[in-house]
Structure 1
């Protein structure tokens, strides 16, 4: 971990954040309020709750690393996949996305600094919280159990991202002292995965099945089961993955889960509407607020969704649907071709070339322009919030885990396990039927294709290609090198100046 964040961890600082008002108030609409020394904090239940919120905070951190570079993970992950290209104003605009797009990243240049720093900040905050909670005066047994479950889920979540991105990472389960900072070594992937499983298993038992509207965004038992099922899938523990995902998906694919209330939405496009947050398809949703009056002076505080502005067309002058944007992550021609004729196309891809030509209007092509842009997170005029700087106050949430995703994960696990193909078929059929598509035989190739079309531009594609072993073939045209680019380089600052952390192979 870079020295800035190691020092941060060593003195156990907690960034405390609070709830702000919005049209639909939720627990995780965050606003930084200050920092407190961990040893002097957690004096009462109220401060314990602030510590819980602080542990969630890195999930929606828009800047990270040693230079506070813009770091929304969707931009890098989409650029590295075949869903999108990097785009932007030039070949050096947000360079960490550019080098992931063309696989020229190295230990000093790439998105790895932000991924590493933000996730380890999350690990530290969860570790501090877990250490402090049992001693908080006046904290009830029920709240202790729930807060512990949330902290364990969050630590598992941060470590799952670290493991998928870097593979070889330190396993830190307690706050580090200054002396310990420089003795950190990497754990085996098996040890990290075992800890992730243990944390999530305990979290499942500790967390509530549902939350009230004012707590939307907090982790539930269903979210913990969904993440654990996903972890098992990555470990190729097919039977365990299918079993726990079945709890999330419910008895009848396409119906409503009677325990958690999950159900596929009838209209695919409604999933991504910021006026439809925390809908029945949402299992784990990262909250973004559009009402915090951000300006450029708030660069390291944003909890709005700046990615929305990033992916809009540059200098857009067409029909009044879009506010315009910075031209990042143009959709690839490969994805546009794959989705042609699919009912999900208009909710996934905006053909700005065709739109402006048909209306005799213009936009400025971005670097690597394809004419196709992301629609799921488009900066639509109807979503503009007229507080602060418009570019910096988009309210769109990011649903990291949703029901169609868990349907397809369970179907994949069942097919790999060679069991209950009838249920796997029903799960696949339910995803397709929701958008009016006929049944296709359940098979791994058909499940893989459905994941691509259903989840396009949502940040899953790169991870899917890597875990399926398809990345060298599918991403070879971008420069992907087998046995190297399946993971990112560890940031240069983490492996120098006496550090015991070793660089990943090939870098």
Structure 2
């Protein structure tokens, strides 16, 4: 496998070289603060300089204010899979975001908001100047090909920045030119549908500019499959429900137009064959992402490159802020897998024990079991991080990339769109979702297997409900679920159902009446090994060479259900408030959605 190299280059070029352009702006959310400044004539004079400028655009995705922690591990929670950091709300930061009690003054809003707009500005500069370069049309074939690619990458990056802004804040100020060309920098809100339509059109253009995987070196740069997958994702959100300033959750009457776009883009990706599922679900995480290696099948279609080196501006806390703790004390272990989510998996579904990690780990790699209500997520776990190994590290930054789009998501988006457009599942929709299911159960991906395949004969609603659940099992802990539930207008329903299920678990009501109060794990093991059943009462006698942990207890109520999404209010909590600091500098903006 090819070691990851592009990630460190991004941060080196963006921070050390600093080939960025300073453009005057009165809006602090559009300001860029480069290490040094160069004129556009210099930056956009040759391919090498443009590459360095583009790495600065990529860099706006990472770090503490990006997908290094806040966009990946603060904003997507609470949902029916996981909870944010445990505890009651009232800290005016991450707990209030997770518990849906966030206020405009929350300390965790302004930084990500500003960094996303800094990314927009950097992308705008590239999008404006690259096509105007002489060599864009008259250079060598190599120069033209590379400049077209970078133009397409910039269009795609801008789309991702705006998408993240929209799905968290709804209608937002939109600007598609560098700030130096704008006569009014105190913009009001632009309707999100207008922004979405612009981005969807941009991505159609970008798909003609960016090469497919296999035509270029494998690294973290955007390729055509990622462009098309992002376009499909944006189309589903454009066609889905969202909270509107006019009141309540709404979707447009023309939503099928966008489902068609999503279906067609996914179909192109599937038929191209440049991406496929890794035969092993665990290997995607343990052998690729956590091993700092490029996934060899192209399943990870776009991952946010993190530089490593303990950088709050360009690294990630994946594996430190979440996942098992070292000796029960080092690392936050802050994200909690909900017991109801853990028990929603089929007992033979291999994705459960990848997604959920019911343990801490000693410095010798020995498993230290945790109980059910404190189980952490497991896709990013320090005992899987290698190349280099960080098991005993006291650092907070491990250089682990954030997977933004996987091929499994493409298959599931195709199945969803196909079902919606055709009024029920087609054979192609069944095959797409069943490929994901087969891999999840360790089966041959392309071979029908009725032990795990969805039964034929489902109607549209039944297939959709199966799809809703399958996306949760497949994509759990990847920052997707809350936003999926919002676009389906199911977030409130799932929160209510989850809270009721947690309380039923403690009361030992069906389907949880036989769960054990105590679980036994193999002692002195470097992997979690259950010695007793997860689904039956514990035996009267402890197994030999075991270590026990209290499993299902009242803590599921007092620690989880009493605070889970406690402040959620439909028609408000689906979006975040604009940060106070933004309103202070822009008189043309105001709060909406009841904030």
Q: TM-score range by the shorter chain?
A: 0.7 to 0.9
Q: Report what 2:335 is aligned to.
A: 329
Deviation at 1:249, TM superposition (A): 2.0
Change (3 A) 1:360 1:484: same
Measure how far apart 1:415 and its partner are.
0.8
Query: Partners of 1:205 and 1:459 in 2: how far apart?
Result: 29
Shift of residue 371 of structure 1? 2.4
Quote the offset at 1:302 in angstroms: 3.4
Q: What is aligned with 1:350? A: 357
Which shows bigger deviation, 90-99 or 400-409?
A: 90-99
| Residue pair 1:350, 1:372 contacting (<8 A) in 2 also | yes
Q: Indicate the residue corresponding to 2:207 in structure 1.
A: 204
**What is the aligned partner in structure 2 of residue 36 from structure 1?**
36
Aligned to 1:101: 98
* SS of match in other structure, 1:307: coil
Give the match's secondary structure for 1:399. Answer: strand
Q: How does 1:208-219 map to 2 (within 5 A)?
A: 208-210=211-213, 214=217, 216-219=219-222
Q: What is the TM-score normalised by the length of structure 1?
A: 0.81
In structure 2, list runs of 5 or more residues that go unmatched.
Answer: 19-34, 137-142, 240-257, 442-450, 500-564
| Equivalent residue, structure 1, for 2:168 | 165
Larger radius of gyration: 2
1:121 matched to 2:99? The reply is: no
Query: 1:115 Cα deviation (Å)?
Result: 3.2
Matched, 1:438 2:452: yes
Q: Which has the higher helix share?
A: 1
CA distance in 2, matches of 1:400, 1:330: 21
Shift of 1:391: 2.2
Match of 2:47 among 45, 50, 55: 45
The size of the alignment, in residue pairs, is 455
Preserved CA contact (<8 Å) 2:2 2:294: no
2:516 maps to which residue?
none
Q: Which has the higher contact order (CA 8 A, sep 6+)?
A: 1
Partner of 2:174, secondary structure, is coil
Deviations 1:90-147 (A, max 9, x none): 6579853201221110111164323321211110010011222234465632222111
- Aligned partners of 2:594, 2:385: CA distance in 1, in Å? 47
Deviations 1:413-453 (A, max 9, x none): 11111266111111111111112361124500000000011
Task: Please give the secondary structure, in 1, of the residue aligned with 2:336.
Answer: coil
Give the match for residue 312 of structure 1: 323
Q: What whole-Å deviation, never above 9, does each CA across 1:305-324 have from its counterpart, x for those lacking one?
A: 3121011344525xxxxx95
Q: Distance in 2 between matches of 1:233 and 1:205?
A: 21
Measure, in 1, the Cα distance between the counterparts of 2:323 and 2:344.
22
Other structure's SS at 1:206 match = coil
Q: Please give the alpha-carbon distance, in whole angstroms, between the structure 2 residues aligned to 1:384 and 1:345.
A: 25
Q: TM-score, normalised by structure 2?
A: 0.70
Provide the residue aligned with 1:268 in structure 2: 281
Distance 1:82 1:401 in 2: 21
Distance 1:363 1:289, change over 3 A: farther
1:84·1:331 contact (CA, 8 Å) conserved in 2? yes
After superposition, the CA RMSD in angstroms is 3.1
Q: Which runs of 4+ in 1 moved over 4 A?
A: 90-95, 135-139, 178-182, 211-215, 359-365, 386-390
**Structure 2 Cα separation of the partners of residues 324 and 430 of structure 1:** 38
Matches for 1:134-145 after TM superposition, within 5 Å: 134-136=131-133, 140-145=143-148
Q: Secondary structure at the match of 1:223?
A: helix
Q: 1:338 aligns with which of 330, 340, 344?
A: 344
Partner of 1:284: helix, strand, or coil? strand
Query: Any conservation in 2 of the 1:171–1:186 contact (CA below 8 Å)?
Result: yes
The answer for unaligned runs of 5 or more in structure 1 is 1-21, 251-256, 318-322
